[in-house]
Amino acid sequence: MLFRSTIIRCADWFGISLIVTGEGAADPYGPKTVQSSMGSVARVQVVQTDLENYLQEWKEATVYAAVLDGQPVGKLGKKSNGILLIGNESKGISPSLLKSVPVQKITIPRKGRAESLNAAVATGILLSHLI
């Protein structure tokens, strides 16, 4: 679960204080995650909940969904608030979740031939463009 600690560290780096994960996600407070987060786990709250219900509660916030067919993130400019939705590395964001709330689809333009990016790497790149 090192990718999770990387996402926690990225959130800490960019001043994000809350990460919300879906139910059944790996334990963010496992020994390896805590150690590899380099202290960020103490500064970033991680909550597990039903994401569809959570997103329904935040109707005033723009939800930016990281997908392959979205608008290039570099064209958005900096944002002062919003929710960044990152999917599972192998399956992406679940179709039901994408349909449950309005989302603005964004992507990292691909220049090479790799099929996808690691979720933590994508999170860092997206945050660097948005914040």
Per-residue model confidence as pLDDT tens digits over 45-57: 999 999 999 999 9
Q: Tokens representing 69?
A: 């067919």
CB 4, CB 36: distance < 8 Å: no
pLDDT band at 1 (very low <50, low <70, confident <90, very high): very low
Question: Which residues on neighbouring strands pair with residue 20, listed in sequence order?
Answer: 47
pLDDT at 2 over 70: no
Q: Tokens representing 34?
A: 């805590």
Number of residues assigned to the chain = 131
Mean pLDDT across the stretch 47-71?
A: 93
pLDDT at 35: 78
CA distances from 123 to 48, 56, 65 (A): 18, 22, 11
CB 73, CB 32: distance < 8 Å: no
Of the candidates 22, 12, 119, the residue with the CA atom closest to the CA atom of residue 67: 119
Residue type, 17: S
CB atoms within 10 A of CB 105: 16
